[in-house]
Amino acid sequence: MMRWRGVMEEFRKFLPITERTPVVTLCEGNTPLIRAGRLAARVCPQAELHLKVEGANPTGSFKDRGMSLAVSKALEHGARAVLCASTGNTSASASAYGGRAALPVYVLIPAGNVALGKLAQAMAHGATVIQVEGNFDQALAVGKVVCEDEGFELVNSINPFRLEGQKTAAMEICDQLGGAPSHHCLPVGNAGNISAYWKGYREYLAAGQIERCPAMIGVQAEGAAPIVRGHVVEHPATVATAIRIGNPASWPSALRAVEESSGAMEMVTDEEILEAYQWLAGEEGIFCEPASAASVAGLAKRSAAGLVPEGARVVCTLTGHGLKDPDIAVSVSPRARTVKATRDAVRKALRG
């Protein structure tokens, strides 16, 4: 079996890179696409369901695909440093790839609203972590200005190379399925990823690799659903901190993806997100973070409303690993009991 070389080498002909572009990679991509029979029976028995497990990337989220390209390009341009605003995953990824490229990394995170695992990653990789008193939208606004002041490369998804790298997930799914799905569900925060997937599908169609593109279904959390509601949300709130965003940077291109694909933008409650999160971990063996489970919650909601046709072939992207947010996992699960180290005590505990 050939060794997987990361998204830049594997999808080189679809990417804006040359022989002079340095390749900064952690061999991201090639993540599992897993058939989910039990979950399908529960949420969409009329359809076929596959889960794209992006938590299996090197830093535990889909961001690595785009970060490989963005950091490589920053290096090619001779950037002094990279900076991002982040709800956590972008900062984890930027810290790893930037560190690998020997570039200083600065991350701006909304104070008190980043999951512990993500914060730990940025710190472990040696980034300068700055907590901003405000939400993600405010951190991004200030990050843009500071990058101009300092001549740093901004590696948020408004950096076009991020989306170029992330589009490879759509191409990979088509390769793994032997064709395009009919419907694709994914969580939407800053709206970069849905825009990237749509670009990937369209380019694969143009290259003759697939015969159709899927309907794109974006899913937002009810307390942070600016695109569904059609207006900026001043104070976004959701248990899914990764998508706690009230004014997405890629709003127009996300809307285009939904319109051009005859898809939809959906919203789900925190309760629905956590329910899907527990189904995934408990019944499919896939531990993702809450934001990721929004894709499945959105699918369940649309299927219950009769909006998923018989015979549909659905892919849900699970964007980040469950270990990113251990606090949530512990808080929604029964408490572990502590007993004496004796046969009797343990056997008694087995019975609850």
Where along the sequence are the contacts to ligand F0G (CB under 6 A)? Answer: 61, 86-90, 157, 187-193, 242-243, 289, 291-292, 319-320
Q: Nearest 5°: CA angle at 325, between 27 and 130?
A: 80
Q: At closest approach, how far in Å is the CB of 232 from ligand F0G?
A: 15
Residue 338 CB contacts under 8 Å (≥ 6 apart), including other chains: none
At position 224, the amino acid (one-letter code) is: A
Nearer to ligand F0G, 72 or 292 (CB): 292
Nearer to ligand F0G, 65 or 301 (CB): 65
Nearer to ligand F0G, 21 or 138 (CB): 138
Q: Cα–Cα distance between 56 and 159 in angstroms, integer? A: 23
Q: At closest approach, how far in Å is the CB of 90 from ligand F0G?
A: 4
Q: At closest approach, how far in Å is the CB of 223 from ligand F0G?
A: 15
Q: Say how far residue 329 (Cα) sits from the centre of its chain.
A: 18
HSE-CB at 326 with a 13 A cutoff on CA atoms is 6
Nearer to ligand F0G, 6 or 189 (CB): 189
CB burial of residue 206 (10 Å; 0-12, 13-18, 19+): exposed
Nearer to ligand F0G, 43 or 242 (CB): 242
Query: What angle do helix axes 63-76 and 89-100 make, rounded to 10 degrees?
Result: 40
Phi, psi of 317, deg, nearest 5: -90, 125
Continuous H helices in 151-250: 160-166, 168-177, 192-206, 226-229
Nearer to ligand F0G, 22 or 81 (CB): 81
Nearer to ligand F0G, 298 or 320 (CB): 320
Q: At closest approach, how far in Å is the CB of 225 from ligand F0G?
A: 12
**Contact (Cβ atoms closer than 8 angstroms) between residue 316 and residue 299:** yes
Strand segments, DSSP code E, in 94-182 are 105-110, 128-132, 153-154
**Contact (Cβ atoms closer than 8 angstroms) between residue 44 and residue 299:** yes
Q: At closest approach, how far in Å is the CB of 154 from ligand F0G?
A: 12
Q: At closest approach, how far in Å is the CB of 336 from ligand F0G?
A: 26
Nearer to ligand F0G, 41 or 111 (CB): 111
Q: At closest approach, how far in Å is the CB of 87 from ligand F0G?
A: 4
Q: At closest approach, how far in Å is the CB of 318 from ligand F0G?
A: 8
Residue 165 CB contacts under 8 Å (≥ 6 apart), including other chains: 7, 8, 15, 65, 66, 67, 68, 69, 70, 196
